[in-house]
Copies of this chain bind each other. A is one copy, B any other.
Amino acid sequence: MATRAIGFIDSGVGGLTVVKEALKQLPNEKIMYLGDTARCPYGPRPVEQVVQFTWEMTNFLVKKNIKMLVIACNTATAVALDEIKAALDIPVVGVILPGSRASLKQTKNNRIGMIGTIGTVNSHSYLNAIKNKSPQTEVIELACPKFVPLVESKSYQTSLAKKVVAETLQPLINQKIDTLILGCTHYPLLRPIVQNVIGDNVTLVDSGAETISDVSMLLDYFDIQAPVSNETPQHEFYTTASTKMFEEIAMDWLPLSDIHVQKISLGEEKRN
């Protein structure tokens, strides 16, 4: 059990920001990553479709015998976590509760901003999770549908990105938030620009990175952490679209000296 991989799924490359934190905190763990880039973005899609796509990704990795599944995508977590967690016999972790908990720990004035995809914002998952723990906290949600395409096209350091982020975040300026949840795992790639627009007095919470603390805790709790080894784990990366762009973004973002990405197909498999 312990030597099996931890699976990560995302609509595209966003979940790599979660993997980055895993490589840092859990260097012994083997990672299997699947990004459904061919059907990205998930954000604007109907709930039922996102649930189906998430199951297709899940089934692909479950067949590869993962020991734990991280739904490293906020849109998918919002609509499919409960169902998948109930159905699988391995631990399943989403990114919304860790991000909610971290934002509550961070805020001093109980005014939290949350940016995410249309799907995540419409689910009100962050708002509900936060209000469940702290009813007096205000959560200001904002959908940023233009952010994911910027990241997937590797345009996250361009002047276009700066312009789009500045325009999109306008409704959050003067809202007196002291904490902003990056409620989409693609957004940490835009972090410097977001921080610049929103101001240094607002703390950004990276929900994906926070999730790795939960993963680490659950590895301990279920006693399935990988044994210490002198060999570096051979991570596996899969995408449903071109491997080239995926590799470029992964090499830019992760502290790995090389990376092998395989293209696979989803959609033939039937939902459980």
Which of A116-124, A165-173, A220-228 is the contact stretch?
Answer: A220-228
Say how far A231's CB is from chain B's closest CB, in angstroms.
13
Residues A225 and B101 in contact, CB atoms below 8 Å apart: no
B220 touches A217 (CB 8 A): no
Task: Please report which residues of chain A, range 119-144, place their CB below 8 angstroms from some CB of chain B when the two chains form the complex.
Answer: 131-135
CB within 8 A of A101: which of B98, B131, B133, B216? B216
Q: Known contacts being A214-B217, A217-B214, A218-B221, is A228 close to B135, with CB within 8 Å?
A: yes
Residues of chain B contacted by A91 (CB below 8 angstroms):
221
What's the Cα separation between A214 and B214 when bound, in Å? 8
- CB of A101 within 8 A of CB of B135, answer no
Q: Which residue of B lies closest to A135 (CB)?
A: B228
Size band of the interface chain A makes with B:
20 to 34
In the complex, the chain B residue whose C-beta lies closest to that of A223 is B82
**B217 engages A133 (CB within 8 Å):** no
- Chain B residues contacting A131 (CB-CB under 8 Å) are 228
Q: Give the one of A101, A133, A213 with max B CB within 10 A.
A: A133
- Given A214-B217, A221-B218, A228–B101 Cβ distance below 8 Å? no
Shortest CB–CB separation between residue A172 and chain B, in angstroms? 26
A53 to chain B, nearest CB (A): 24
A216 to B132, CA, bound (A): 13
Q: In the complex, which residues of chain B have a beta carbon less than 8 angstroms from the beta carbon of A105?
A: 25
A97 within 8 A of B: yes
Residue contact B228 to A97, C-beta cutoff 8 Å: no
How would residues 225 to 264 of chain A score, 1 for a CB under 8 Å from any chain B CB and 0 otherwise?
Answer: 1011000000000000000000000000000000000000
Contact, CB under 8 Å: A132 / B217? no
Query: Contacts of A133 on B, CB cut-off 8 Å?
Result: 28, 225, 228
Complex Cα gap A93–B221 (Å) = 8
Q: Give the complex CA separation of A97 and B216 in angstroms.
A: 10
> Contacting A132 at CB < 8 Å: which of B25, B98, B135, B228?
B228
Q: How far is the CA of A164 from the CA of B255 in the complex (A)?
A: 47
Residues of B with C-beta under 8 A to A213: 213, 217
Question: 5 smallest A-B Cβ distances: which pairs?
Answer: A97-B220, A135-B228, A214-B217, A217-B217, A101-B216
Residues on A facing B (Cβ under 8 Å): 25, 28, 91, 93, 97-98, 101, 105, 131-135, 213-214, 216-218, 220-221, 225, 227-228
